[in-house]
Amino acid sequence: MIESEKADRDLSCLVVPRTGQLIATDDKWEPYRLLDRDGAPIAPVAVFLRELLTAGRSVATLRSYGMDLLRWWRFLGAVDVCWDRASRLEARDFSCWIQLAVKQSKQDPQPRTGSRTARAVGAPNPVTGKPTLGSGYAPATVVHSETVLRGFYDFHRDAGTGPILNPFPLDAARRSRRAHAHHNPMDEWKHERTGRYRPSVPRRIPRAIPDDRFNELFAALSSNRDRALVAFWISTGARASELLGARHCDVDPGQQLITVVRKGSRAAQQVPASASADAFVWLRLYQEDLHGKVPRGRTQPLWWTLRRPHRSLTYHAAHRMFERANAVLGADWTLHALRHSAAARMARDPELTLSDVQWVLGHAHLTTTELYLTPSKEEVVAGVLAHHARQAERRAEPVPPPPAPGYDPQSLSVLFGRPL
């Protein structure tokens, strides 16, 4: 039975403090560790992250899962409920709170209460057309959090260390007998696992950078290293983290290939780079800039920081570099937009098949690659404007005069024995 005081919990006055933290360690057996408000490791999360590491999940995945669990632990601390005593009531309130709460930043350590205007988005960027992010959590973050927490409680339920009922259940309507009553036996079954507290996410169309804007963005880069990185990203279509993990032995300028480790499968794959060898030229200039300053072994990292002490370039440092180039143009493109741009260019090339693009991008399914056949906003706007221009020209054409009285095309066709 739901207690009245819990059912009437006022989320608008709920304050979730920034207690606990997720720290990165140098231990390869435990890359990330979640600490509680007292600085002690949280054992249930440590076991769950170890399970993910054993299943072959990447370090970035562990960090993403750890951040979702950190938000859940902070919420449980605010409502004074232990993790193994949480019910679907706490899961419902958390799912409601994370959709309406104002996201806290490191510069603003004071906790805030929920607000219904937290998810309001701002005006679109005048250069890219992307809407400005609001002060709340993105819908993709909310959906990812629900999936992670459901998997966390499924793991502990199977291990016998957590509650028997998962606080984040699946939607019963999707698992009923009538859910697929009209399923076509010739079609494959869809992977439908929708949680009860999982909000809908609008379908996002891959946003590519137009060629003229890309030239302006490339001109705003301030170093040979940055130019080499962007040239490789736009020509290979590799993810940002995949290219940043490359070593000296992974570069093959003779065949214009570079080897990257795929994010999901962790498989090493050679991908073709710029056909005009621009990326390798900028790479060579960058290596000359750091000659004698960084190690040059075959297994050493390929990308380094430009400031002393020289360290291996991380994703966050590369992201800040790209933000500085965006600031010159007043744009807000991301590093992943370079992958979308490369994929859109290859998908529109008549010399490349869609299977070729799928192999280069490392997609597991062809349906994922088909998204890049969707026309961009610029193409749709240009096509519609051209349509209106053609309609205006047709309306401006002179109208032929009507036939003279007594003129009957049918009778004349009968007279001459052929249609006129």
Average pLDDT along the chain: 85
Q: How far apart are CA 74 and CA 64, in angstroms?
A: 16
* Higher-confidence position of 112 and 54: 54
Write the pLDDT tens digit of every residue in 288-311.
999 999 998 999 999 999 999 999
| Nearest alpha-carbon partner for 232 in 259, 197, 207 | 259
Q: Are residues 351 and 366 in contact, defined by beta-carbon separation less than 8 angstroms?
A: no
Q: Between the CA of residue 253 and those of 28, 158, 237, 241, 279, what are the distances in Å?
A: 32, 51, 17, 21, 10
Q: How many CB atoms lie within 10 A of CB 208?
A: 24
Identify the DSSP state of 21: E
Mean pLDDT computed over 336-365? 93
Other Cβ atoms less than 10 A from the Cβ of 408: the count is 10
Give the pLDDT mean for 21-47.
Answer: 94
C-alpha closest to that of 272 among 208, 364, 366, 349: 349
pTM value surpassing 0.75: yes
Average of pLDDT values for 53-79? 93
CATH 1.10.443.10 fits 211-373, yes or no: yes
pLDDT at 390: 92
What pLDDT score does 338 carry?
A: 95
> Bridge partners of 102?
136
- For residue 249, give the nearest of 237, 235, 259, 238 by alpha carbon: 259
Structure confidence at residue 179 as a pLDDT band (50, 70, 90): low
**Contact call for residues 67 and 149 (beta carbons, < 8 A):** no
Residue 251 backbone dihedrals phi, psi, to 5 degrees: -100, 130
More confident residue, 197 or 168: 168
Distance CA 349, CA 356 (A): 11
Q: Are strands 268-272 and 257-261 parallel, antiparallel or unpaired?
A: antiparallel
Burial (CB < 10 A; 0-12, 13-18, 19+), residue 393, is exposed
Task: Give the tokens for residue 299.
Answer: 């297994």
Residues 80-120: tens digit of each pLDDT: 999 999 999 999 999 999 988 888 766 555 555 544 445 55
User: Quick check: 238 and 250 in contact, CB under 8 A?
Assistant: no
251-252: strand order across its sheet: 251-252, 257-261, 268-272
Neighbours of 151 (CB within 10 A): 17
Return the domain boundaries, the chain. Answer: 4-172, 211-373
What is the SS3 assignment for 326?
A: helix
Query: Cβ distance 120 to 134 under 8 Å?
Result: yes
Please give the pLDDT value at position 296: 86
Q: Is the dihedral of CA 322, 327, 328, 333 positive or negative?
A: positive
Backbone angles phi, psi at 252, to 5 degrees: -125, 85
For residues 415 and 183, give the distance between their C-alpha atoms in angstroms, rounded to a whole number: 61
**Is the pLDDT score of 214 beyond 50?**
yes
